[in-house]
Amino acid sequence: MSETQKKLIAFGNGLKLLRKFKNLNQADFAAIFDLTPSSISRFEGATAIPNLDTALKLAAFFNLTPEGVMAFGCGGKPKESPPAPEVAEVLAAARAVLEAGGQDAETLKHMLDLMQPKL
């Protein structure tokens, strides 16, 4: 797998996690940016690459750079973090997902551990 493919997958994973933290479905999230839900699905599934302008707008929605979105997708800590109220909102949403269980539970647990000192 090339480095570009790894970055594309990380961006898609991060975008999906952050969108879910905001309790947005793909259709509602797409509407914010005048995109189609299938575009968001393709970005999250790493089957399409957003252009630079779109990637910057998507990342800015979460107060991050595209690299920060990729860091979330890799389970790491982004270079830029959301403001304190956003962190509390993300933590609350993540806890709800953890309680429900599911495929993203381990990644969310890791992210919660990274974010906990910010409270």
- Stronger pLDDT, 75 or 55, i.e. the higher one: 55
H helices of the chain, in order, are 3-21, 26-32, 37-44, 52-61, 66-73, 84-100, 105-115
pLDDT at 82 over 50: no
Domain count, the chain: 1
Residue 40: pLDDT band (50, 70, 90) is very high
- The greatest distance separating any two alpha carbons of the chain, rounded to the nearest whole angstrom, comes to 38
pLDDT at 56 over 50: yes
Residue 25: pLDDT band (50, 70, 90) is very high
